[in-house]
Structure 1
């Protein structure tokens, strides 16, 4: 399953090995996080966001990297139910 974190990693030209080193975790642990088997820790999300910002996306947020449209869609659906 491709997620946004993986997409940004590939756009930056980083390998899973490089990302694992950035987060100070094993490559297998990183792969599991990228596949969605285990969640990214908050501190890891911050490190990835900072790295993405350094690579041309200065205004990116953690939500955009890790949640994308799912949060916005869910929020919109919930608001429509309330109306």
Structure 2
């Protein structure tokens, strides 16, 4: 599970809830959460502000990039 999904679940939000907050469809949110489509910068900032409710020290790197890079190589879902 990626951090994006993990924090969403901790906040008790569904993909539909997140989609509504970002003003996109649930399908579009699902594609973005799975990494098939990139989030827009403004969407990343909105997500960051939501997730700071759970962890005030969280950064964009933590949410969107930390779980993708390991030792300089992309993590392909080990």
With structure 2 as the length reference, what TM-score do the two structures score? Answer: 0.82
- What secondary structure does 2:52 align onto? helix
Seen in structure 2, the aligned counterparts of structure 1 residues 17 and 69 have a Cα distance that, compared at 3 Å, is: closer
Structure 1: tracts of 5 or more residues without a match: 75-83
1:58 to 48, 56, 62: 56
Partner of 1:16: 15
CA shift for structure 1 position 35: 1.1
More strand by share: 2
SS of the counterpart of 1:36?
Answer: coil
Normalising to structure 1: TM-score of the pair?
Answer: 0.78
Say which one has the larger Rg. 1
Q: Write 1 or 2 for the structure with the bigger share of helix.
A: 1
Measured in 1, the distance between the counterparts of 2:19 and 2:67 equals 26
Structure 2 unpaired stretches of 5+: 73-78
Tell me the distance in 2 between the aligned counterparts of 1:14 and 1:53: 14
Flag as ranges the 4+ runs of structure 1 deviating above 3 A: 69-73
Deviations 1:5-32 (A, max 9, x none): 1111011110001000111100000000
Q: Distance in 1 between matches of 2:66 and 2:32?
A: 16
